[in-house]
Amino acid sequence: MSKKSALRPAAFVRELLAHDMTVLASRSGKLELLFCQTVLDRHGGGYREVPRHPATDAMKARFDALTGAERAALCDYVADLPR
């Protein structure tokens, strides 16, 4: 049985950035993961969102699997980053 390693917020955020993803933290403690970019849809007109990185699904799954305590630690870390 493998034990899950402790979340290191700084390393996790660096990994998100390496995957062209951004995480936002609100004052209420909510996290939002941004992983798409808006591009012009040449065939249908208008715009559509597409993932920015080929490994988006795997990284998003890791983000979604964070525990409540890990999300709180990540939220605190992101909220304390300089603006």
Whether residue 19 is contained in a domain is answered as yes
pLDDT above 90 as % of the chain = 10
The parent domain of residue 56 ranges over 9-80
Which residue type occupies 46? G
Across 21-43, average pLDDT:
79
Whether residue 67 is contained in a domain is answered as yes
Across 26-45, average pLDDT:
78
DSSP string, 23-36: EEE-TTS-EEEE-E
Query: How many domains are there within the chain?
Result: 1
Whether residue 3 is contained in a domain is answered as no
Whether residue 2 is contained in a domain is answered as no
> DSSP secondary-structure letter at 53?
S
Q: Rounded to whole angstroms, how far apart are CA atoms 40 and 47? A: 4
Whether residue 43 is contained in a domain is answered as yes
> What pLDDT does 3 receive?
56
Whether residue 4 is contained in a domain is answered as no
Nearest in space to 47 (alpha carbons), one of 55, 39, 57: 39
